[in-house]
Structure 1
Amino acid sequence: MTLKIAFMAGKSEVAQSAHDVLTARYGDVPPTEADVIVALGGDGFMLRTLHATQDLPAPVYGMNCGTIGFLMNEYNEEGLMERLEEAVQEDINPLSMEAMDQTGRVHRALAINEVSLLRAGPQAAKLKITVDGKVRLDELVCDGALLSTPAGSTAYNYSAHGPILPIGADVLALTAIAAFRPRRWRGALLPKRVTVRFDVLESAKRPVMADADSISIDNIDWVEIKSDPTIKHRILFDPGHGLEERLISEQFN
């Protein structure tokens, strides 16, 4: 059976050129009619593609036309149909973020990698952290904090010295960004089922922004985050190069 492919490409010259070559060779259908969606770009474009197509049945296969390409497969215009037929699927649940800003408006967004809170002024942020209704940290003085999925644990989380999580782990990583008080607090590993709440202390004096996969909310008062099992992102990888292998390999580089 010949797979029906929908190609989606980032704005870069490299991605657009790849789109022209591949569509001419393999054809192109709308995403709603596709058996598989091929995303051409970097990790940022892959995240946008997954969000845009989350209600469609077709899985997404990324081909790297960007820089790092952790969520992508190697670009090669040869043998694409065979690679798609042999690809291995990984399923990922996103984080659901609900945030209220200082005007009282509530914002909602989904994040495949992480939800991060970042100071938006010259002074450090002050955050209170509550897990499933129980206050776990009365005051974290920091540049920010983030909650990461296993899929996102090698991204911003890892740069902030958070742990790399196996893709099948039912845990989330809560990581501090440049913590000042408590000085030695580096974060926590939490069950995937919990709800994490951040309250911004002295929010008028110490403004904080929240970001969910590049969807940013300014001047927040509080944020609640939890994994959403009702949404499943399906990502395809070449055999032997899936997320589990990449997460393990990253720890030995």
Structure 2
Amino acid sequence: MPRELPTANELRLSFFASEKPDAIESARQLKQRYGDHSVDDCDVIVAVGGDGFMLDVLRTHMTCDKPIYGFNRGTVGFMMNDADIDGLSERIAESEPTTIHPLVMKATTITGEVKTAKAINEISLFRETRQSARIRISINGRVRMESLTCDGVLLATPAGSTAYNLSAHGPILPISAHMLALTPISAFRPRRWRGALLPHDAVVEFETLENEKRPISAVADNQEVRDVTHVEAREARDITMTLLFDRGQSLDERILSEQFDY
């Protein structure tokens, strides 16, 4: 369970801003009004920017055991809160926490190099050229799809299920669901396969077929590894991150509302 926050008057905040001018100026004003503490000394990290910057902050401070509050100076702001400078300490002190876990990707390249990365939203495989990708998919050591011909395939967390996964026609997952969404991107064969729902502790392996003719890259959120031959993806249940949302605007509520947005 996330630990209880101090009162608004006692709350110590640490501000980080994206490179956008609006975010930099907002962070300057926020620091001037509320003070700015180091990550070690703060109670809450405040990310000033958009969803992409929030992902960067979450990855950077993944193991620091400090809750993170998003102050929206981006475009969509699905993971952020309203950009209202007034009463920020009070809103944070009364905010609703959401616990999430990242995915861990271990990617092996054609040259045998092994690279690891963590993702908050999804791990994706994409074709690198005009040639379609061909990918074998195994779950917990058992081959479940011998060959998927496609533009790509992704594995999404509940927090990421409303992002690229939704655009690829994958299912929206409640934030409390102990599940992952496996979703094809423009599947050609089998044409009617729409993906699968997997338990959160599933170990998913992607093996690229004809990889010299059909090169494939693997991406953990925005961290890319090119020319992969094998990718293993799993949830890192030992890493817990806490996001804070203004009361009445929790991530659970946002994900539920997204399912009725038409």
Which of 17, 20, 29 is matched with 1:12 structurally?
Answer: 20
The C-alpha deviation readout for 1:187-226, integer Å capped at 9, x for no partner, is 0000111100000000000000000010100000010001
Q: How far 1:57 moved relative to its partner? A: 2.4
Which of 219, 225, 234 is matched with 1:217 structurally?
Answer: 225
Residue ranges of structure 2 left out of the alignment (5+ in a row): 1-8
Q: How far 1:90 moved relative to its partner? A: 0.6
Q: Is the 8 A contact 2:65 2:241 kept in 1?
A: no
Q: Which position in structure 2 is the counterpart of 1:141? A: 149
Percent identical among aligned pairs is 50
Q: Which position in structure 1 is the counterpart of 2:188? A: 180
The C-alpha deviation readout for 1:155-210, integer Å capped at 9, x for no partner, is 00000000000000001000000000001001000011110000000000000000
Q: Which position in structure 2 is the counterpart of 1:200? A: 208
Q: Which position in structure 2 is the counterpart of 1:118? A: 126
Q: How far 1:68 moved relative to its partner? A: 0.4
Q: Is the 8 A contact 2:101 2:236 kept in 1?
A: yes
CA–CA distance in 2 between the matches of 1:9 and 1:153? 25
Q: Secondary structure at the residue paired with 2:126? A: strand
Q: How far 1:3 moved relative to its partner? A: 0.8
Aligned pairs, how many? 253
Q: Which position in structure 1 is the counterpart of 2:6? A: none
Q: Which position in structure 2 is the counterpart of 1:162? A: 170
- Partner AA of 2:245 in structure 1: F
CA–CA distance in 2 between the matches of 1:101 and 1:186? 27
Q: Is the 8 A contact 2:121 2:221 kept in 1?
A: yes
CA–CA distance in 2 between the matches of 1:176 and 1:72? 28
Q: Which position in structure 2 is the counterpart of 1:48? A: 56
CA–CA distance in 1 between the matches of 2:21 and 2:104? 33
CA–CA distance in 2 between the matches of 1:167 and 1:52? 22
Q: Normalized against structure 2, the TM-score is what?
A: 0.96
Q: Normalized against structure 1, the TM-score is what?
A: 0.99
Residue ranges of structure 1 left out of the alignment (5+ in a row): none
CA–CA distance in 1 between the matches of 2:62 and 2:186? 34
Q: Which position in structure 2 is the counterpart of 1:153? A: 161
Q: Secondary structure at the residue paired with 2:233? A: strand
Q: Secondary structure at the residue paired with 1:163? A: coil
Q: How far 1:239 moved relative to its partner? A: 1.2
CA–CA distance in 2 between the matches of 1:21 and 1:193? 43
Q: Secondary structure at the residue paired with 2:40? A: helix
Asked if residue 74 in structure 1 is aligned to residue 46 in structure 2, the reply is no
CA–CA distance in 1 between the matches of 2:190 and 2:62? 39
- Partner AA of 2:24 in structure 1: Q
Q: How far 1:31 moved relative to its partner? A: 1.4
Report runs of 4+ in structure 1 exceeding 3 Å deviation.
none
Asked if residue 29 in structure 1 is aligned to residue 40 in structure 2, the reply is no
CA–CA distance in 2 between the matches of 1:58 and 1:225? 25
Asked if residue 3 in structure 1 is aligned to residue 21 in structure 2, the reply is no
RMSD value, Cα: 0.6
Q: Is the 8 A contact 2:152 2:186 kept in 1?
A: yes
- Partner AA of 2:55 in structure 1: L
